[in-house]
Structure 1
Amino acid sequence: MHLLPHSLAVSCLLSLAAQEVFAAPSPAPTPLPRTVPLLRRSKPQLTEAERFEWLRGQRDSLKSKYGAGGANVKRASGLNLLTNQNADSSFYGSIAAGTPPISYNVILDTGSSDLWLAANDGLSASQSDGIPTFDANASSTFTDLNTPFSISYGSGAARGNLGQDSVQFAGFEVSDQVFGVVTQISNNLLTSPVSGLMGLGFKSISSSGATPLWQALAESSGTLDQPLMAFQLTRFVDVQNAQVLEPGGTFNLGAVNTSLYTGDIDYQPIPEGQEGYWIQELTGLTVNGQSVSLDAGSASYAAIDTGTTLVGGPADSIAALYAQIPGSEALTGDNAGYYTYPCDTNVTVTMKFGNSSIAWPISNADFLLMQVSGNSCVGGFFQLDTSGTSAPPWIIGDTFLKNVYSVFRASPAAVGFAQLSSTATSMNGQLGPAPSPTVGSVATVTGGS
């Protein structure tokens, strides 16, 4: 769910999906990788109609996010534990804002660049029920910038004003971070316990024009050990008894966590002049060993987007991919763009980027998005038309990212992938409590009856 021309599709799933980010750690005195634990929510039991509604919400929010179809502290590194919500639908971490610092859960989204929080004085009782909200009057360091702020998503919009205050994240603090204080929000845009969203893209695609927090830290000399951030995401999509919120993995800022991957990190540069989204050129795509033809150059640019659940791509490429899966069929009408295939078919997709020789595999568990009826399942790749927008042709979300250790490096600008370690993969499907914020007091929850 993200800003029209400037954000990547944050899987905001109508009334079914909630976007959330997770707990930020307290500042560490030593330069160890600080980690943010991610949390995930359990998979709801849905009717066939609800499943198709969810699919439409995913597709439409991605289109809208990309405009398709319509500091600080000493040199160090930090972490934030993530929360996995709704069986891999979204991953959230936590920040702390204001003085005294209050903690909030936010979606961590490499597909957009704005930070915003729901305010305590603008949401209706039904909208704010169970959602911690930001109270500007409770912070002694908050400044109202008297500048309107708005952002649109496929499933709604958020509006308010820009403010400036101290924000802590993954063990770091920016004392004058600009962010949106949202007083108007569409129904179902937020789901408890998520209070907002933190964009982790570059400033050039920021709706507000503000420098993203991560970029302010990266550009502050001597603050981070390395100008990068990294994600390890868990998988619960195939766990029937998963809870609404589960441990979601780890976010690191300023350093990588060597216990979560093996071998080398395969960095591929962002194409020259494309720093905005985290762009990679998709240069190889196979399904069950059969190659899918791809256009060269910018026609195969892809945004690597932690805020998107699925993988969207050009119609001809997606059709060619499913043509290699016996029994697959294109859905029509309201569900156009998606494909079904026999659930008992094992599907292995690989993706290759830039000049790399490595073909990264996507597990069958991640490709199989959901069963809609009988032996009919929907795949995690769907058709997306971004022509006429500033968005790239491909949007690559968590369907792929759960299968790799992903690194986003600011300088030199690149995206890197590495093979997950046994330590990382052992977290998949391991039920447990959601991580708790370790910075700031827990925000007050307001809401209706």
Structure 2
Amino acid sequence: MTAQLALLFSTLFCFLLSAAASPVAPQQYPRRTENGLHLPLTRRVERRAGGLTGAIGLGDFVDVTYSFLATIGGVETPLVLDTGSSDLWIASDACKDCAASSVPLFPQASFSPAGMDVRLLYGDSLTGTHAAGLIGTDDVSFAGLTIPKQYFAAINDTDTNVLATGCAGIFGLGFALNSVIWNQVFAATFNPSTSSPSPRAARRLVPNYATRFFPNLSNLLSPSSPKRDSTPDTAVLTRAVLASYAAEGPALTRMVATAALAAPMFVITLQRNTLDVGGNAGVLSLGELPAGVQASALTWAPVRGYPGALQAPADSPNEMYPIAWELFVDDVFLDGARLPRSNLSSSAIALSALVDTGNSLLRGPADVVAVLNARLGAGGTFPCATPHTLAFSIGGTLFPVDPRDFAAQQVEGSLDECVANVVETDAPVEGQGYQYSWSLGDPFLKGVLAAFHYGNITYPSVDPPRIGLLSTVPADAGTLLQSAIADAVKSNGGDVFSATTPAPTGVPVAPGSGTSGVPLAPPPVGKIGGDGGSGNSNAARPAIRASWVVVLVGAAVGLVGLV
């Protein structure tokens, strides 16, 4: 009997030892917790020599933007995930230039038209592109939710690169005031006497960001505007704007306005894809932070409010409303040395940056970018194995761009010449349009966990909109860059474009945590406390209302650039 027990315990011990040494089974996604949804961002890669499918982390050279699958009008298709804009659009089967695309197109015959055309503009004065079509409504399903009768655009003309990358459109995650579609729909509803408003009916374009939409609701205030009571027109307009968000706003704004999320927030982590596989799983979280990440660990920066963008309510006259996910920046540093402030814009403009998942690069003032390139080397080139660190001081905390995301190989087969993933853009003009100088695209976002909190959309002063950042760049990122370059030389003859790491079929459960304590695959948790968690007025909200629930699998797709 003793021998049998000894054998039993020996067998059990070996089994446990074997289990401990075995890789952890992949966690299934999408995952729904008490307060939110968490989805891995996966990638369908379009490579130069054929296709490749898998999760993010493939080492492919077109690692520039991210998307997920959404169903519109019964058609499931990938859409670019874009925090830099607020409009939802999908290419329709009426688009003549879209016929060669391999992605499913929206059947315009099933469209519920709103009787309005729209022309959406992207980029800046150097890189502007457009997407034009019809405004209408249909049910939209994404990230485990169904949004009924969502306004969007069925596009029949575009010169963007979206379709060339395997996506069918763009899903904007910005604020309602920044939505061209909402502006037009609201203008027609608020002032019906303006029949079939043109795309310019509620917009104002300024010399800087010549292709960027910037809202102007003041033209809706005229002697012919409808007065529903004896209050001034501005008060009527403000109440109508805020009341419209629940039914007419962009998708996430509607979710916030109807308390469909436990907390009015979404969180994005992006996996690195070039030179070396990144430390974080690419995850989109709705309604809460990923498990194991406390709000107190993030640096929370206020989102810029624009005075006059929307008249403040009479009972709270000092309100300023946000237009875009734009945060303030203390300073910018290259390899520890501060870069000068731009001389192309007024010193009275507080330095700020747009946080933009739809931007494949980092963009800054032309004179500052020129200084940056001069410090890097002749012609802005440098050996690919030389790590450089571009860092942004935000809220008193330095957030570096990982050297593996900062550098871009300029010539295939040669690692002697890399350039920075930084280009110039328009400088802001005081009091005209957007005031940000920098655009922080995917090279920055792949080195942070970024939480976008809408706050109180009616009274921002009560619960301000904010962005929380947690750096995921490891302390030895420079060494990791050199190691990745050495591996590329050994295996590909000096061509990091071809350096590929096999993709996993799912996101593994982390026994501990990933880089800088960010979990690779968050297990379910309850509510999150502290600033940036559930929010002042949202703690008692249901996590996801049943009327919005469907299921989605996310997908990330490389994009050579929206613009």
Q: TM-score, normalised by structure 2?
A: 0.56
Greater C-alpha Rg = 2
Task: Look up the equivalent residue of 1:420 and give its one-letter code.
Answer: T
More strand by share: 1
Task: Give 3-state SS (helix, strand or coil) of 1:90's partner.
Answer: coil
Q: 1:363 aligns with which of 396, 402, 408?
A: 402
Equivalent residue, structure 2, for 1:431? 503
Corresponding position: 1:147 with 2:191: no
Map 1:9-408 onto structure 2 (within 5 A). 28=32, 31-40=34-43, 42=45, 44=47, 87-98=62-73, 101-124=74-97, 127-138=99-110, 142-153=111-122, 154=127, 156-186=129-159, 188-191=161-164, 193-209=166-182, 211-221=249-259, 223-239=260-276, 249-259=282-292, 264-273=297-306, 275-294=322-341, 298-325=349-376, 328-330=377-379, 339-353=380-394, 356-372=395-411, 375-387=416-428, 390-391=433-434, 392-408=436-452
Q: Is the 8 A contact 2:331 2:339 kept in 1?
A: yes
Equivalent residue, structure 2, for 1:71? none
Equivalent residue, structure 1, for 2:540? none
Query: Structure 1's 83 and 306: CA in aligned 2 closer, same or farther, altered over 3 A?
Result: farther
Shift of 1:40: 3.6
Task: Look up the equivalent residue of 2:274 and give its one-letter code.
Answer: V
- Render the CA deviation track for 1:46-75: whole Å, top value 9, x for unaligned: 9xxxxxxxxxxxxxxxxxxxxxxxxxxxxx
Equivalent residue, structure 2, for 1:56? none
Query: Structure 1's 261 and 118: CA in aligned 2 closer, same or farther, altered over 3 A?
Result: farther
Q: Which whole-Å CA distance do the structure 2 matches of 1:413 and 1:31 have between them?
A: 23
- Render the CA deviation track for 1:344-368: whole Å, top value 9, x for unaligned: 3210122111xx2210121110110
Range with bigger deviation, 405-414 or 203-212 = 203-212
Range with bigger deviation, 190-199 or 397-406 = 190-199
- Render the CA deviation track for 1:249-278: whole Å, top value 9, x for unaligned: 111111111347897111111133261111
Query: Structure 1's 182 and 252: CA in aligned 2 closer, same or farther, altered over 3 A?
Result: same
Q: Which whole-Å CA distance do the structure 1 matches of 2:57 and 2:99 have between them?
A: 22
Task: Look up the equivalent residue of 1:289 and give its one-letter code.
Answer: G
Q: Which whole-Å CA distance do the structure 2 matches of 1:33 and 1:420 have between them?
A: 22
Task: Look up the equivalent residue of 1:329 and give its one-letter code.
Answer: A
Task: Look up the equivalent residue of 1:309 and give its one-letter code.
Answer: S
Gaps of 5+ in 2: 1-28, 50-54, 183-247, 307-320, 456-463, 478-499, 508-549, 556-563
Task: Indicate the RMSD between aligned Cα atoms, in angstroms.
Answer: 3.5
Q: Which whole-Å CA distance do the structure 1 matches of 2:371 and 2:165 have between them?
A: 39
Which consecutive aligned stretches of 4+ in structure 1 deviate over 6 angstroms post-superposition? 81-85, 260-263
More helix by share: 2
Q: Is the 8 A contact 2:56 2:503 kept in 1?
A: no
Q: Which whole-Å CA distance do the structure 1 matches of 2:38 and 2:56 have between them?
A: 9
Shift of 1:45: 5.9
Shift of 1:87: 3.7
Q: Percent identity?
A: 25
Task: Look up the equivalent residue of 1:218 and give its one-letter code.
Answer: V
Task: Give 3-state SS (helix, strand or coil) of 1:320's partner.
Answer: helix
Q: Which whole-Å CA distance do the structure 2 matches of 1:150 and 1:214 have between them?
A: 21
Query: Structure 1's 214 and 271: CA in aligned 2 closer, same or farther, altered over 3 A?
Result: same
Q: Which whole-Å CA distance do the structure 2 matches of 1:429 and 1:266 have between them?
A: 32
Gaps of 5+ in 1: 1-24, 47-80, 331-338, 443-449
Q: Is the 8 A contact 1:190 1:196 kept in 2?
A: yes
Q: Is the 8 A contact 2:35 2:261 kept in 1?
A: no
Q: 1:416 aligns with which of 439, 454, 468?
A: 468
Q: Which whole-Å CA distance do the structure 2 matches of 1:368 and 1:158 have between them?
A: 31
Number of residue equivalences? 354
Q: TM-score, normalised by structure 1?
A: 0.69
Q: Which whole-Å CA distance do the structure 2 matches of 1:83 and 1:39 have between them?
A: 9
Equivalent residue, structure 2, for 1:335? none
Q: Is the 8 A contact 1:310 1:399 kept in 2?
A: yes
Q: Which whole-Å CA distance do the structure 1 matches of 2:90 and 2:281 have between them?
A: 21
